[in-house]
Chain A
Amino acid sequence: MPPRLPAPLTPVVDACVVPSCKSAPFVRSFSSTPCKQKMSRARQQMYQWLKGREGSELAEAKGGPRYLGPLQDQPFPLNPLFRSQPVLDEQTRELIWDKVIMRGEALKAVSAEMGVDVRRVAAVVRLKEVEKQWEREGKKLAIPYAKAVMNMLPKTSYREGEKNLPHEPVNEIHVHKLTMQQLFVPVSESRHFTRQDAAKAFHDTMLSVDARSPQPELIKMEREILQGKTRQDSLAKFKEATQKEEDRVAQRIAREAQREEEATTRVATDRYEFRFKEINADDVGRTGRSRKGTGWRYGAPFDDRKRGLVKIPTSVP
């Protein structure tokens, strides 16, 4: 066995002047372990790929979306069942806001016209309102970020007065738990077995697709068109109906606010405004623990800070 020689003493700084080491040569590293002289094979291959054509294309991200998968809109190579679906572009979102807020069109009408889900229409308006508020307040928007992100995503755009493809289905129905079972219902051949009957067969209280639709007015409109009315007339009727419904909701909200206002007595002092409301002491129930009641029975344990109880809120009003 050859005698063991002590390793040559090399200064720590020199150990880092290997080309594979990324750090600057004149920065003293804290570690006394010298850098690895050789890259592992896997790492080498990775950098080869990253520096190659595909890797550099992905790094730059110029000119529209660019994903890894074999299909154009497929981000994960192994999962063709997930696709990157287009988002609404900047002008379309602005248009939705304009239609709803400035022109006062009903959400459902805008949704049906532009082929965007009602919930999405409402969300777009809500977000745009926040954006406008920021602009009024002079808060700085994340413009460079937004530009970069919108450049990387597939987009749908809606242009007024042109023929546009819908963004997403407007009348989407959740598959109800009760309908996921296979059911054999013997009926006579001559029976006219409709969707309502099918729903009844699954459960007595089960509603049919027509009743669960988020756009019943739209179905009504299409039915009228099939009965021979002109599209223009029925569209006008549809718009009127949706507008009326929205007005009803607005009135209800206003009424509720007014009722609330009437129930409270405001007493303004120089420091505070005291608000008094009539409450019913019986709301707490027999045990005194009902959630609906104001206050809780004297002595009833209040568990909100106990160990082992989840304190994470379930909803934020």
Chain B
Amino acid sequence: MRKPYRFYSLSRPKLRQSWNKYNLYNLYRQTGREPQIKGTPTFFQQKWAAKAKTRSYHGEHIPEKKWVRLFSRRLLSAVDMPPEYLAAHDGSEQAAGRGSGLTTTTVSAETFSKVPKLSTQERSRKRAIFGDVNKLLSDQFSNMTPYMQMTFAPLERRLDTAVFRALFASSVRQARQFVIHGAVTVNGKKMVHPSYQLNPGDLFQVDPEKVMYGTGVQKAQQGNSRLRENLEARQKKAEQAFQNAVKKTSSATAATEGETEGDKAEAEATAAEGEAAEGEAVEGEIIAAEDAGSLTPEAQWQLNNRALKFLLKDVKKILKNNTKDLTAKEKKQLRLFRADAKRFLSQPEKSEGNITELIDELQTQMKSHELMRESFEKLSLKENQAESEVEAESANAAVEEGEHQSELSRERQVEKGLEGLSDEQKTKAKRIMGDAQLSREEMRKLARLLQYDEENPIDDSKPYATPWRPRPYMSAFAFIPRYLEVNPNICAAVYLRHPVARKGMGEVPTPFSYLTSQLTHNWYLERG
């Protein structure tokens, strides 16, 4: 049926099967209550009003004629019969002695039940409205089986309603659309009829993408444009700088072979680079490092070193802080790191690679990098004293990384090695050395962070806002009735049985009071 004009209205409010905020507000201000009795409305008028109210919520998208055909006056209920009771008593105790005027026993099936009772705890102490008809009536009914609340139970069997009740769509109309668009399967077969009546044991499954779209925050017009621009700019820069880096390093190595003085100059150059810290030139080396086949192994190692340093620059900072609550900026840096790391490990950027694999590969890369450094140290003993010592010490320290003691000794040795330099340069050099390595603990932390980010990534191709968040006001509507068993991981649910009424509880989710439902039921009984 067409969606009626002014579906969510404040002036003439109606309750709907939807998570809309207008609907929430209408629920809050008790739109569906029975009106104060003014004048003398006839029974017919009361029934009509109640019917109109309940039908605007229950299956308003179904023509009245069809609902009338579905209506059943046989309302289902169930009783808990604990096996302990059935074993201990054969039922004769209910009647024993009644004829001779004895009082009945207090023994009943209910006294044996161990199932936790419904809560009677008030959430907040609210100002009690004197003579609240609805409350007075429902207090009275809490000790009986509320059959009248089961009036609309046949509608809960419909596929679209079940999809909505399983929290896979934000309204029944949306659930209906999901079904019609072919996103729902029943027992593994596509079902395009929203009015399909589920049978007990039917497993229905909704496309997770649709569910995330239906229950997630809506996508903004220019949501992640900044991040996308950042990523694109970074990639462009990297590609452009690639050529320069290759040229520069090859010429630099040629120079070092010639002169001994060049070392010092280079050390200063790296320090300066670290200080600049923009990494504009270094970025290119991330790519350059991966295929510098034409370069000498030493030059390649240097390239690799600088790339690693750049890669871990921001991550070190993030890992230092508390990893529980990252700021938006840190999250962004993490995502940029992932993109860079993939580039560094020569994985395709668009690939859906596993995060653990990525981290493992990064670790092996770093280890091999470390080994190479050691071998170089042995070869180039003649090099500048301070430089080589520093490198050797850091290499030693890296072997037994993670331990506090070694950290301390490393500090000391590094201090010793850097005697000749000024204080300013000392700190710079230390920072540079630490930048190319991550401890095991840090690695684990990073892996966890990336895993968390991978589960809920930023993805512009999705039709919902990413990273996914539940839509506002969802929690007020989040309940799953017991006749469904839901697995939200795969967005699938099983319709276990038809909804039933129990003592003090009707399983059909309806926002109306017992009185309204009673009037409605009487309307559909078509008796007087």
Chain A residues close to B by CB (< 8 Å): 40, 42-43, 46, 49-50, 54, 58-61, 65-73, 75-85, 87, 93, 115, 117, 119-120, 123-124, 126-128, 130-131, 134, 140-146, 148-150, 152-153, 165-166, 168-175, 177, 189, 192-196, 198, 209-210, 213, 215, 218-223, 225-226, 312-317
Contact = CB atoms under 8 A, between A and B. Distances in A.
Interface in B1-51: 10-11, 21-22, 24-25, 27-28, 30, 32-33
Contacts of B21: 46, 50
B379 interface: no
Nearest to B76: A174
Interface stretch (B356-364, B395-403, B435-443, B476-484): B476-484
B136 to A, nearest CB: 12
Contacts of B507: 82
A171 B81 contact: yes
Interface of B: 10-11, 21-22, 24-25, 27-28, 30, 32-33, 74, 76-84, 86-88, 90-92, 95, 99-100, 113-116, 118-124, 126, 134, 138, 141-142, 146, 149, 167, 186-187, 189, 191, 193, 195-197, 199-203, 205, 208, 211-212, 215-216, 455-456, 467-470, 472-482, 485-494, 496-497, 500, 504-514
A73 B470 contact: no
Contact of B196 (A66, A78, A313): A313
B154 to A, nearest CB: 14
A172 B470 CA distance: 35
Contact of A152 (B33, B142, B208, B478): B478
| 3 tightest A-B CB contacts, nearest first | A84-B479, A61-B475, A222-B87
Nearest to B27: A68
Given A78-B513, A142-B488, A198-B91, A312 B193 contact: yes
A308 B273 CA distance: 80
Given A49-B28, A69-B123, A149 B487 contact: no
Contacts of B191: 313, 316
Contacts of A170: 83
Nearest to A209: B81
Contact of A222 (B83, B205, B474, B500): B83
A127 B479 contact: no
A76 B487 contact: no
A169 B84 CA distance: 12
A70 B486 contact: no
Contacts of A67: 123, 475-476, 479
A165 B513 contact: no
B202 A316 contact: yes
A192 to B, nearest CB: 5
A119 B496 contact: yes
A142 B489 contact: yes
B133 to A, nearest CB: 11
Nearest to B500: A174
B10 A43 contact: yes
Contacts of A225: 87
Contact of B470 (A72, A130, A152, A213): A152
Contacts of A43: 10
A98 to B, nearest CB: 15
B527 to A, nearest CB: 18
Nearest to A85: B482
B10 A142 contact: no
Contacts of A223: 87
Nearest to A152: B478
A149 B214 CA distance: 13
A196 B86 CA distance: 12
Given A173-B79, A223-B87, A141 B489 contact: yes
Contact of A194 (B92, B114, B488): B92
A315 B82 contact: no
Given A65-B478, A130-B203, 5 more contacts: A68-B24, A68-B476, A81-B514, A123-B201, A174-B500
Contacts of B196: 312-313, 316
A272 B448 CA distance: 50
A51 B33 CA distance: 24
A74 B25 CA distance: 16
Contacts of A50: 21, 25
Nearest to B469: A148
Contacts of B205: 130
A192 B96 CA distance: 8
9 contacts: A71-B120, A127-B487, A142-B491, A145-B211, A145-B212, A145-B215, A148-B470, A174-B500, A189-B99
Contacts of A82: 149, 505-510
A123 B475 contact: no
Nearest to B113: A169
Given A78-B513, A82-B509, A71 B121 contact: yes
Contact of A169 (B80, B119, B208, B493): B80
A42 B200 CA distance: 44
Contacts of B506: 81-82
Given A72-B121, A79-B138, A173 B78 contact: yes
A40 B90 CA distance: 66
Contacts of A194: 90-92
B487 A128 contact: yes
Question: Interface centre among B469, B489, B500, by most A CB within 10 Å?
Answer: B489
